[in-house]
Structure 1
Amino acid sequence: MNTYRTRAELKAEVKSLLTGNWGKAIGLYIIPLILLFISNGYSNAKSHVSIRYDVSNFDIGHIARYASSSGIISYLLSLVFLLIVLSATFRGLDWLEDPELSFDPIKSNFTYFRGPDWWHLIFIYILLSIFTFLWTLLLVIPGIVKGIAYSQSYFVYKDTNDRGQADNYSLTDYITKSRQLMVGNKWRYFGLQLSFIGWWILGFITLGIGFIWIYPYYKLTMANFYRDLVSKSNNII
């Protein structure tokens, strides 16, 4: 039986990494955070509907969904935002794996604009959106469950590419591997998400200023969750 790290252990490892490195972490995630606020604010103004943050998926999914409702231009911009957010997210995973890693926080937001395979991430996003939408047509709960099952797809993409295994994978394989990794781990993931509710409340109380520190902490914790999954699932990846 696999013994995974507890929520407290995952967070403690991230806090240890952030100690003395907050400036680096803020620099890495400040652009994605600004884009998140701008996109939500723009969509709110266009729709005149109050947009609430979903603490179970506080990421680029919000940007793409809401921006797409404002027209094709906004949707295309959301795909650019996707690459920026994932570039930062992936650098965060690299940093966790090598705490002494030297990198430029701002330039790291644009890593996947310089690579030839940026379109892979966009098509994975489109596939995830389609699959989750189809499950949601059944009922909301199955859609949420599948969304959690697919939550590691982007990390699987990065990991397999870093290991030189990408030639053996199709785009749907990354989603399948995520689903396999999350077997028996959906409640762990959901519980980890819920553990940040207090932080989100604090962020709103501080009129968004607190998110400058909360967002890096959250994103790195989610990356650490993936590291923990893979360390106990070598037969899957």
Structure 2
Amino acid sequence: MNYKSSAELKAIAKEQSLGKYGTLIGANLLILAIQLLVSGFSTVSGTGSILLIIINSLITIIINILLGVLVSGRAYLYMNLLYSQPVATADVFFGLRQQPQKAVTIQALFVLVDFIASVPAQLFVMRYAATRAASDVATAFLLLGIGLIINIIVGLIYSQAFYILHDFPDRSAKEILATSRRLMKGNVFRLFYLNMSFIPLYLLGAITMFIPLLWVSAYRNATNCAFYQDLIATAAGQQTTTD
């Protein structure tokens, strides 16, 4: 299969983003501000009882799922960018108008997997608070690592879902997730490597007052969208050849 290399995808992202970083960074900041604002007003204060922890966890899960409409809007923004369409910061709200129920359903998969994968480690952290046993700390770290791996794998396999939602809005959430899984077959490591290649830029941004991270985030999002564009174009080419 003639997929583009990571360098080619990054070059495409850079070219399409020229002169538009202000809009892209503004959109990312807007999403971050909304997430922080909603999270700040959504927790129940009080003593650290088990019931309170459960309530706050449920609230956090629900909010993160609903915020899927913003993730959908961000995908729409970067798709407009890569397909040479006009882009605006307000594009992040497009997910509220375009199949919001499907965006929430897709987001629910990521949020619930993240929660379930983190529960075992959290339980051992709570157990350590009572026992102070070193074995509980070691087990918690082990389970945390396993949970992280699960999260990464699921995130990669279904990473194309929000893009597919905008390209094929008539498909159900289940069909969209299945399409992402099919597109990513044999491409999981490619996307993993692509995202890992941004680590040096993130580290550089972290040691230079963090401000460059705004550019790095926009650059990575554009590159990930270029990855989708390459995937879908290659899949369409294969279908044409088969027919």
Same fold by TM (over 0.5)?
Answer: yes
1:72 to 1:228, Cα distance in 2 relative to 1, 3 A? same
Q: Match for residue 86 of structure 2?
A: 102
In 1, the alpha carbon distance for the partners of 2:235 and 2:103 equals 23
1:126 to 1:6, Cα distance in 2 relative to 1, 3 A? same
1:170 to 1:82, Cα distance in 2 relative to 1, 3 A? closer
Are 1:147 and 2:155 matched, yes or no?
yes
* TM-score, length basis structure 2: 0.70
Which of 199, 214, 217 is residue 216 of structure 2 equivalent to?
A: 214
Instruction: Indicate the percent of aligned positions where both proteins have the same amino acid.
Output: 27
Q: Match for residue 112 of structure 1?
A: 95
For residues 96-140 of structure 1, the C-alpha deviation after alignment (integer angstroms, 9 at most, x for no partner) is 112xx224x22212112234x211111122134446777899954
Q: Match for residue 123 of structure 1?
A: 105
1:40 to 1:191, Cα distance in 2 relative to 1, 3 A? farther
Q: Match for residue 184 of structure 2?
A: 182
In 2, the alpha carbon distance for the partners of 1:110 and 1:183 equals 31
- Measured after TM superposition, the shift of residue 224 of structure 1 is 0.7
* TM-score, length basis structure 1: 0.72
Which of 151, 157, 164 is residue 156 of structure 1 equivalent to?
A: 164
Matched residues, number = 203
Q: Match for residue 199 of structure 2?
A: 197
Q: Match for residue 87 of structure 1?
A: 73
In 2, the alpha carbon distance for the partners of 1:157 and 1:134 equals 25
In 1, the alpha carbon distance for the partners of 2:213 and 2:116 equals 32
In 1, the alpha carbon distance for the partners of 2:81 and 2:26 equals 13
In 2, the alpha carbon distance for the partners of 1:37 and 1:15 equals 29
1:134 to 1:174, Cα distance in 2 relative to 1, 3 A? farther
Deviates more, 1:13-22 or 1:222-231: 13-22
Specify the code of the residue in structure 2 equivalent to 1:102.
P
For residues 162-198 of structure 1, the C-alpha deviation after alignment (integer angstroms, 9 at most, x for no partner) is xxxx1xx332111111111111111101100110101
Name the SS of the counterpart of 1:232 in structure 2: helix
Is this contact kept in 2: 1:83–1:113, CA < 8 A?
yes
Q: Match for residue 4 of structure 2?
A: 5
In 2, the alpha carbon distance for the partners of 1:108 and 1:80 equals 17
Is this contact kept in 2: 1:33–1:215, CA < 8 A?
no
In 1, the alpha carbon distance for the partners of 2:208 and 2:105 equals 37
Specify the code of the residue in structure 2 equivalent to 1:21.
K
Is this contact kept in 2: 1:153–1:178, CA < 8 A?
yes
Are 1:14 and 2:13 matched, yes or no?
yes
RMSD between superposed Cα atoms in Å: 3.3
Q: Match for residue 25 of structure 2?
A: 26
In 2, the alpha carbon distance for the partners of 1:86 and 1:107 equals 12
Is this contact kept in 1: 2:95–2:103, CA < 8 A?
no
Is this contact kept in 2: 1:84–1:112, CA < 8 A?
yes
In 1, the alpha carbon distance for the partners of 2:35 and 2:41 equals 10
For residues 56-98 of structure 1, the C-alpha deviation after alignment (integer angstroms, 9 at most, x for no partner) is xxxxxxxxxxxx9844444443344332232022121122112
Deviates more, 1:21-30 or 1:175-184: 21-30
In 2, the alpha carbon distance for the partners of 1:110 and 1:143 equals 26
Give ranges in structure 1 of 5+ residues lacking alignment: 47-67
In 2, the alpha carbon distance for the partners of 1:37 and 1:206 equals 23
In 2, the alpha carbon distance for the partners of 1:145 and 1:69 equals 28
Give ranges in structure 2 of 5+ residues lacking alignment: 46-53, 121-142
